[in-house]
Amino acid sequence: MNAVITGATKGIGRAITEKFASEGFNIAICARSKKDLELFSEELRNKFPDIDLIAQPCDVSDKRQLKTFADLIKSTWNSLDVLVNNAGVFLPGQVHKEKAGVLEKQIRTNLYSAYYLTQFLVKIMIRNKHGHIFNICSTASLQAYPNGGSYSISKFALLGFTKNLRVEMMPFQVKVTAVIPGATLTASWEGVELPEARFMKTSDIARSIWNAYSLSGQTVVEEILIRPIQGDITS
């Protein structure tokens, strides 16, 4: 069993990687920081010595680097069970005040990366008529927030891409799920003066994804909407 996770060294991506590795999956991961990737890879190899691990530095906003990552996976594996498009960037702001390039950066990172990596890898799933794609969206995909700006635009688009892809993949028995988490305790919230209990745990997101993956072949969870018990954090 093989799983690909982008943005895997921190936060939600790290928790997802650890969950699937603990279930015996071979893992292909990428991250922008080579140092972080090497440290996490060493941890994974020590903790899960029986799995195969592919680790490739990659800026997912760069299509060429994404293709290099995908080509490495295709040259190593003949099957792919899970693809998690997790990598993203959050730049708060307001549309009428944002600096030039803010929209483009978030669209490239939050939308295009999922679009292109899916294009590069989904033919493996189509050929085998098996696989599950998870796109990590956000409650900002559903509801505009103060200072959401271009981030919310990119996440709305990612949810739209996910819905469209799900319909396209139906004839091939490939499942597609939008994961829509609210405030989760990750680096994006560093500096916010709120107690940890106000946020969800990354392990809860990972467990929810694993549960959706574990269902029978004839069933798909289309969307996982998951929030802190006290509701969204909007400012």
Predicted confidence (pLDDT) per residue in 132-191, tens digit: 999 999 998 998 888 888 899 999 999 999 999 999 999 999 999 999 998 876 665 555
pLDDT tens for 70-92 read 999 999 999 999 999 999 987 77
Sheet holding 223-226, edge to edge: 53-57, 26-31, 2-6, 82-85, 131-136, 174-181, 223-226
Q: pLDDT value at position 185? A: 64
Considering only CA atoms, give the Rg of the chain: 17
Q: How far apart are CA 133 and CA 175, in angstroms?
A: 6
Is the pLDDT at 194 greater than 70, yes or no? no
Q: So what's the pLDDT on residue 90? A: 79
Residue 159 lies in a domain: yes
Is 196 a member of any domain?
yes
Q: H or E element: which one contains 44?
A: helix 34-47
Q: Which has the higher per-residue pLDDT, 150 or 17?
A: 17
Does 193 have pLDDT greater than 70?
A: no
pLDDT bin (cut points 50, 70, 90) of residue 108 is: very high
Q: Is 220 helix (H, G, I), strand (E, B) or coil?
A: coil
153: CATH: 3.40.50.720
Q: Work out the angle at residue 49's Cα, subtended by the Cα atoms of residues 71 and 34, and round it to the nearest 5 degrees.
A: 50
CB atoms under 10 Å from CB of 146, counted, come to 9
In a domain, 235, yes or no: no
In a domain, 233, yes or no: no
pTM of the model: 0.93
Residues 6+ apart with CB under 8 A from 28: 2, 3, 4, 5, 53, 54, 55, 56, 69, 72, 73, 76, 77
Q: Is 116 inside any structural domain?
A: yes
Strands 82-85 and 2-6: parallel
CA distances from 220 to 43, 167, 178, 211 (A): 32, 12, 11, 11
Quick one: tokens of 20? 């699937």
Say if residue 94 is exposed, middle or buried (CB neighbours under 10 Å; 0-12, 13-18, 19+).
exposed
Residue 11 has pLDDT above 60, yes or no: yes
pLDDT at 197: 72
Range of the domain at 84: 2-226
Q: Quick one: angle between helices 11-22 and 202-213, nearest 10?
A: 50
Task: Say whether pLDDT at 235 is over 60.
Answer: no
Which secondary-structure segment (H or E) carries 17?
helix 11-22
> Which pLDDT belongs to residue 187?
61
Q: Which helix (H) or strand (E) holds 70?
A: helix 63-76
Check residue 28 and give its pLDDT. 98
Dihedral through CA 16, CA 54, CA 27, CA 60, nearest 10? 40
Instruction: Tell me how many domains the chain contains.
Output: 1
